[in-house]
Amino acid sequence: MDKALVEMINSTILEKGPGVHWDDIQGLSEVKETLMENIVYPQLNPEIFSGIRAPDSGILFYGPPGNGKTLLAKAVATECKCTFYSVSASALMSKWLGESEKLMKTLFALARSKAPSVIFFDEIDSMLSKRKSEGENEGARRLKTEFLVQVDGCGAGSVENAPQVLVIGATNRPFDLDEAALRRLTKRIFITLPDAEARLGSILKLVEKVGSQLNSNEKQMLCALTENYSFADLKAIVKDAAMGPVRDLHKNGSSIAKLDKDSLRSVNFQDF
């Protein structure tokens, strides 16, 4: 393999996990179990996970933005003992003729050599949009073709001859993906808006570090008021509510520079 290409690909490896754990993600228990089945369990007992029980070679996370698709991939990088590649379309696109396909081929070759591996493509629709007969860049078309070929060759068909390489793609626009790419991503998981239990768990988890004074009735009211909110929306709300104690002290004439962290009260319902 070309050393320059190998160095470029190696820069996408996450040597250390991003610090996101399964417990940091509220809800999505079925999705977590699917990831365990495809990554962790085959490592624990590869003889069982062979043949028809072989893990899927491709998983697609799709759904509205801000609901944990990228966060799940970060948790995989932290929790699972595997080599994790986080790849964007810009990392694979090159102005030089033929280099984009070589980068894709090198990526999968390195992933196989360091198996078990996970290759994560965020916003995968930007790279694997539907192929067109006219008006499409030839380099982009060849990159898509190389991806399709490589994914077909990296399936975990059996213990003896198939290294464990899992491709995870995340997108908000699954309808823009090429049909052939969708066929390779055999496990497709809809990451929907959080339910009431997940919303409350997320709020309490986020506000935990600054403390809260919420009683059971106020918690139920927060659940009702945040219906149809995404995890990203909830994070923005909690972040703003956490500033409430600081604002109160500032309004009372306290200097921001001299504020003591221990003097701040806990977050209450009025802050929300």
Which domain CATH number covers 175?
A: 3.40.50.300
Specify whether 139 is located in the same domain as 201.
no
Helix H or strand E encompassing 106: helix 99-113
d(CA 202, CA 25): 8
Nearest-5° Cα angle at 198, 192 to 202: 115
Taking alpha carbons only, the member of 195, 190, 144 closest to residue 170 is 190
DSSP assignments along 206-261, one per residue: HHTTT-B---HHHHHHHHHHTTT--HHHHHHHHHHHTTHHHHHHHHTT--GGG--G
d(CA 75, CA 226): 25
Residue pointed to by tokens 């290409």: 5
Specify whether 210 is located in the same domain as 258.
yes
Coil vs helix vs strand at 141: helix
**270, part of any domain:** no
Specify whether 66 is located in the same domain as 147.
yes
User: CA–CA distance from 122 to each of 62, 74, 182 (Å)?
Assistant: 11, 11, 15
Specify whether 182 is located in the same domain as 217.
no
DSSP assignments along 164-209, one per residue: -EEEEEEES-GGGB-HHHHHH--EEEE-----HHHHHHHHHHHHTT
What's the chain's Rg over C-alpha atoms?
A: 22
CATH number of the domain that residue 234 is part of: 1.10.8
Taking alpha carbons only, the member of 10, 236, 262 closest to residue 117 is 10
161, 190, 219 - which closes a domain: 190
**269, part of any domain:** no
144, 172, 190 - which closes a domain: 190
190, 206, 235 - which closes a domain: 190
Specify whether 136 is located in the same domain as 245.
no
d(CA 229, CA 235): 10
Domain residues for 22? Answer: 3-190
Per-residue confidence (pLDDT) for residue 74, from 0 to 100 = 83
Measured in residues, the chain has a length of 272
Per-residue confidence (pLDDT) for residue 141, from 0 to 100 = 82
Per-residue confidence (pLDDT) for residue 15, from 0 to 100 = 61
Per-residue confidence (pLDDT) for residue 240, from 0 to 100 = 95
The tally of domains found in the chain comes to 2
Contact assessment for residue 77 and residue 122, using Cβ atoms and an 8 Å cutoff: no
Specify whether 154 is located in the same domain as 55.
yes
Query: Which residue positions in the chain have pLDDT lower than 50?
Result: 155-162
d(CA 141, CA 101): 10
